Amino acid sequence: MTAPADPEAARIRSYLVSVAARLPLIELVEKVRHDCLPLGEAAALVPPERFAERPGPGAWSAAETWAHILDMNEQGAAAIEAILDGAAPPARAIDDALRHAPADLPGGPACYERYRRRREQLLARVAAARGDEHLDRTIRHPMFGDLSWREWLLFMRVHDLDHLRQLQAIAAALGGGRQP
């Protein structure tokens, strides 16, 4: 894989590769688990009656943001679990695009609970691994290129933190929370 042309993408990729290689597996699992806990607090910031409301033109609603977080959580977990099970990862890049939120998507706290259950299932599976299996099998990210499952797990943390800030900004714009 050639380095990303964008300096910011190259910086993030370098972080993913170096930290995923450096941390013992249990520390990597705990880092991902711990650093994403604030999503639980952010889930309750947007008033339920404004969950599907966009805070401005071209902005995502909290519902759309959660739909995206849940979709990426599921896609990433499924890809990592497939690799750990010795199967081929998805042939295509995991899609990081916005998907419109289903009309029946529950509010933020219910979305967080769904996210948390799936994430814990993945983290339990990863914690049971040796940590060095199938690192040659990669998952393609549209901006960061091919990532091993360990790198992708750490990317899931970066992705969640990015959308955490987005949820906080949505809440602040809609009068339901504070911006960092």
Number of neighbours of residue 130 by Cβ within 10 angstroms: 7
Residue 178 lies in a domain: no
pLDDT of residue 162: 94
The torsion angle over the Cα atoms of residues 8, 19, 143 and 54, rounded to 10 degrees, is -80
Residue 1 lies in a domain: no
134 closest CA partner among 64, 81, 56: 81
Indicate whether 1 pLDDT > 80: no
77 closest CA partner among 46, 36, 27: 36
Residue 68 lies in a domain: yes
Range of the domain at 49: 7-173
Residue 54 lies in a domain: yes
Residue with structure tokens 């339920």?
48
- The whole-chain average pLDDT of the chain stands at 89
Indicate whether 130 pLDDT > 70: yes
Distances (CA, A) of 143 to 4, 9, 17, 173: 7, 7, 14, 28
pLDDT digit string, tens, across residues 47-67: 999 999 999 999 999 999 999
pLDDT of residue 175: 80
DSSP secondary structure of 70-90 = HHHHHHHHHHHHHHHTTPPPP
pLDDT of residue 98: 58
Residue 29 lies in a domain: yes
Residue 166 lies in a domain: yes
pLDDT of residue 180: 44
Q: How many domains does the chain have?
A: 1
Q: Residues 66, 111: contact at Cβ < 8 Å?
A: yes
CATH no. for residue 158?
1.20.120.450
Residue 116 lies in a domain: yes
Residue 76 lies in a domain: yes
Mean pLDDT across 143-168? 95
Question: Is the pLDDT higher at 94 or at 64?
Answer: 64
pLDDT digit string, tens, across residues 7-30: 888 999 999 999 999 999 999 999
